[in-house]
């Protein structure tokens, strides 16, 4: 189906261009004869020439109408086949449908805001596991036109509800996707933040390269030399994995990035902490959304064709169309971003030799998230969330250490042990922890001992081992 749609689309487009060019050439020829006639040149005094002009004029007017009809028909076919192509793509990205009865949905929230979970997974074949390296919540307010993107830190200590492959436990939030895919990951977000998410989008990171290139690149601010250095190291790695040859970024400040450079910029986790990494991701996502909202038809179809193999979603075609129509009718669209947990409501802590980002109060973070998403002055957490929040605090030994709750869910150590394959640039870490409680925590994948690491040279080529 998709192959036939592409063939029909390309053929129709070619015919449209051919007939338009043909009409243009005939028009130029006829206009030249008209000019000669108006100037009353000797050629036009010839009866034979005058007859040719009259015949050509009649032929031109008739041909013009016919060609315009043909072009119009071809354009209709182009648009129609483009729509068929687009629909076939949208049907192709349909993924696992969620069981809404098992998502712990908060039914008391406003329907004016649609919340969709976004999970970014690693596309590298040399990395095992289905961890969600990036977790975001995309929110669309149909009344105000506001798009809001919230990053949820992957090391956040939360309750992982019972799934098909796991018992209830308390561990890193990105364990949920590894244990139970989108179903359990969405359920985890709802239960820990009192949300009403019922749909998801899973994006393979490799999708970012084609998306950015199709949209003409993105402009970002390379903050300092450390960000520049490590982003360039990741460019080496991405080029190797994807068999690309994009150049390194030349300097700090505002830079226009290609797809490979943008992916490396988002993946860079070593120049600073995970807060900055997620901020870079939101910076790139914001530009992608803004550019995608303003693309022409053909660019949009081209973009769909390139990204669809990398995307899966629970949204139906009807839901995607409804969201698009409702959103496009709103004027003064805005885009804002957020991050959970907040700086002053969390701290980093080593628990059983694994680094966690611990919320001072998970309930307080949820209240602030609701204030951001729904622009409400206050939100009262559910009794279930308050119980989870106490349990998290008790596990971390902060504030309410040793608190007893009604559930016997165990704490479990969850480490991103496979997060650094040997081909990816990796800095040395000592997993040091600043006991002052500040949030500049190191997210350099604490499971690996990289004390012997030396930075790659300029001609660095990652080993496929």
Domain CATH for 251: 3.40.630.190
State the average pLDDT over residues 188-217. Answer: 90
Per-residue pLDDT band for 405 (boundaries 50, 70, 90) equals very low
Question: Region 95-107: what's the mean pLDDT?
Answer: 86
Pick the range with the lowest mean pLDDT from 58-62, 65-69, 129-133, 341-345: 65-69
List, as own/partner pairs, every contact residues 430-433 make where C-beta atoms lie below 8 angstroms and the sequence separation is at least 24, other chains included.
Answer: 431/350, 431/353, 431/355, 433/348, 433/349, 433/350, 433/355
Q: What is the mean pLDDT of residues 212-229?
A: 91
Same domain, 68 and 177: no
Q: pLDDT tens digits for 263-319?
A: 899 888 888 777 788 888 888 888 887 787 777 767 777 777 777 777 888 887 777
17 or 225: which carries more pLDDT confidence? 225
Residues 88 and 116 in one domain: no
Q: Which helix (H) or strand (E) holds 204?
A: strand 199-204
pLDDT at 281: 83
pLDDT at 78: 42
Q: How many domains does the chain have?
A: 2
Q: Within a domain: residue 10?
A: yes
Q: Are β-strands 169-172 and 199-204 bridged in parallel, bridged antiparallel, or unpaired? A: unpaired
Domain stop point among 327, 342, 357:
342
DSSP three-state, residue 106: coil
Beta strand residue intervals within 91-192, DSSP E: 113-121, 132-141, 146-152, 157-160, 169-172
User: Taking 60 as the threshold, does the pLDDT of residue 22 lie above it?
Assistant: no
Residue 160 to residue 242: CA distance in whole angstroms: 34
Q: Is 351 part of any domain? A: no
Q: Is residue 387 part of a domain?
A: no
pLDDT of residue 310: 79
**Crossing angle of the two packed helices 207-214 and 297-307, in degrees rounded to 10:** 170
State how far the Cα of 84 lies from the Cα of 7, in Å rounded to an integer.
12
Q: Which of 90, 27, 89 is nearest to 56 (CA)?
A: 27
Q: How confident is the model at residue 29 (pLDDT cuts 50, 70, 90)?
A: low
pLDDT at position 49, please?
53
Same domain, 208 and 261: yes
12 inside domain = yes
HSE of 394, CA atoms in CB hemisphere, 13 A: 18
The overall average pLDDT reported for the chain is: 71
What is the pLDDT confidence band of residue 207, given thresholds at 50, 70 and 90? Answer: confident
Q: Is the pLDDT of residue 62 over 60?
A: no
Q: How far apart are CA 232 and CA 423, in angstroms?
A: 15
Task: Note whether 174 and 135 are within 8 A (CB).
Answer: yes
Terminal Cα-to-Cα distance of the chain (whole angstroms): 39
Please check whether residue 457 lies inside any domain of the structure. Answer: no
Question: What digits encode the pLDDT tens for the residues 311-348?
Answer: 888 887 777 777 766 666 666 667 788 999 998 898 88
Q: What is the pLDDT of residue 15?
A: 45
Is residue 425 in some structural domain?
Answer: no
pLDDT band at 32 (very low <50, low <70, confident <90, very high): low
My answer on whether 251 and 337 are in the same domain is yes
Residue 259 has pLDDT above 50, yes or no: yes
Query: Between residues 182 and 97, which one has the greater pLDDT?
Result: 182
d(Cα 190, Cα 54) in Å, to the nearest integer? 77
My answer on whether 52 and 175 are in the same domain is no
Residue 369 pLDDT greater than 70, yes or no: yes
Q: Which domain holds residue 236?
A: 112-342
252 with 164, same domain?
yes
What pLDDT does residue 25 have?
53
Tell me the Ramachandran region of residue 213: left when phi exceeds 0, alpha when psi lies from -120 to 50, beta otherwise: alpha
Contact partners, residue 440, CB within 8 Å, separation at least 6:
272, 273, 434
Question: Would you say residue 429 lies in a domain?
Answer: no
Q: What's the token pair of residue 381?
A: 């957490």
Burial (CB < 10 A; 0-12, 13-18, 19+), residue 78, is: buried
pLDDT of residue 384: 94
**Whole-structure pTM value:** 0.65
Whole-number pLDDT of residue 290: 78
Instruction: Give the three-class secondary structure for 347.
Output: strand
Interval 85-93 mean pLDDT: 50
* In a shared domain, residues 120 and 87: no
What SS3 state is found at 378?
coil
Task: Give percent of the chain above pLDDT 70.
Answer: 59
Order of strands, edge to edge, in the sheet holding 311-313? 311-313, 199-204, 113-121, 132-141, 146-152, 334-340
Is residue 9's pLDDT more than 90?
Answer: no
**Boundary (domain end) residue, out of 26, 57, 92:** 92
* Judgement on whether residues 62 and 124 belong to the same structural domain of the protein: no
Calpha distance 32→27 (Å, rounded): 9
Q: Are residues 67 and 117 in the same domain?
A: no
Q: Do residues 277 and 160 share a domain? A: yes
- Average pLDDT of 448-463? 37
Q: Of the candidates 280, 309, 342, which is a domain's last residue?
A: 342
* pLDDT score recorded for residue 294: 75
Has residue 184 got a pLDDT over 70? yes
Whether 424 is covered by a domain: the verdict is: no
Residues 74 and 117 in one domain: no
Could you tell me if 75 and 180 lie in one domain?
no
């Amino acid at each position: 189906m998709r192959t036939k749609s592409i063939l029909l689309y390309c053929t129709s487009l070619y015919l449209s261009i051919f007939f338009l060019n043909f009409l243009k050439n005939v028009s130029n020829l006829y206009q030249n004869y008209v000019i000669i006639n108006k100037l009353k040149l000797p050629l036009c005094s010839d009866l034979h020439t005058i007859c040719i002009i009259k015949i050509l004029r009649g032929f031109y007017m008739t041909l013009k109408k016919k060609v315009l009809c043909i072009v119009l028909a071809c354009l209709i076919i182009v648009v129609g086949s483009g729509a068929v192509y687009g629909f076939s793509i949208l049907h192709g990205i349909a993924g696992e449908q969620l069981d809404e009865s098992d998502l712990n949905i908060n039914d008391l929230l406003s329907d004016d805001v649609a919340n969709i979970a976004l999970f970014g997974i690693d596309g590298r074949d040399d990395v095992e596991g289905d961890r969600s390296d990036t977790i975001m919540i995309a929110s669309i307010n149909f009344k105000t036109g506001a798009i809001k993107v919230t990053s949820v830190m992957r090391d956040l200590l939360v309750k992982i509800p019972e799934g098909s492959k796991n018992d209830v436990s308390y561990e890193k939030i990105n364990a949920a996707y590894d244990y139970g895919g989108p179903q359990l990951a969405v359920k985890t977000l709802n239960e820990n933040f009192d949300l009403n998410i019922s749909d998801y989008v899973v994006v393979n990171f490799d999708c970012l390269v084609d998306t950015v290139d199709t949209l003409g690149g993105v402009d970002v601010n390379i903050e300092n030399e450390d960000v520049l250095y490590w982003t360039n190291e990741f460019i080496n790695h991405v080029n190797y994995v994807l068999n690309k040859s994009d150049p390194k970024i030349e300097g700090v400040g505002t830079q226009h990035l290609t797809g490979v450079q943008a992916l490396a910029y988002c993946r860079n986790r070593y120049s600073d902490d995970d807060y900055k990494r997620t901020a870079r991701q939101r910076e790139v996502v914001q530009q992608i959304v803004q550019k995608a909202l303003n693309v022409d038809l053909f660019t949009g179809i081209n973009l769909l064709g390139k990204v669809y193999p990398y995307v899966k979603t629970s949204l139906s075609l009807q839901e995607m169309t409804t969201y698009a129509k409702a959103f496009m009718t709103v004027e003064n669209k805005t885009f804002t971003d957020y991050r959970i947990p907040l700086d002053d409501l969390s701290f980093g802590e080593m628990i059983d030799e694994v680094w966690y980002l611990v919320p001072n109060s998970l309930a307080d973070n949820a209240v602030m998230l609701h204030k951001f998403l729904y622009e409400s002055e206050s939100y009262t957490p559910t009794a279930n969330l308050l119980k989870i929040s106490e349990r998290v605090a008790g596990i971390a030994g902060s504030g309410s250490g040793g608190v007893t709750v009604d559930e016997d869910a165990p704490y479990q150590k969850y480490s991103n042990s496979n997060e650094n394959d040997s081909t990816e640039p990796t800095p040395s870490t000592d997993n040091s922890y600043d006991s002052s409680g500040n949030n500049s925590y190191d997210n350099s994948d604490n499971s690996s001992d990289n004390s012997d690491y030396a930075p790659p040279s300029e001609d660095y080529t990652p080993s496929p081992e």
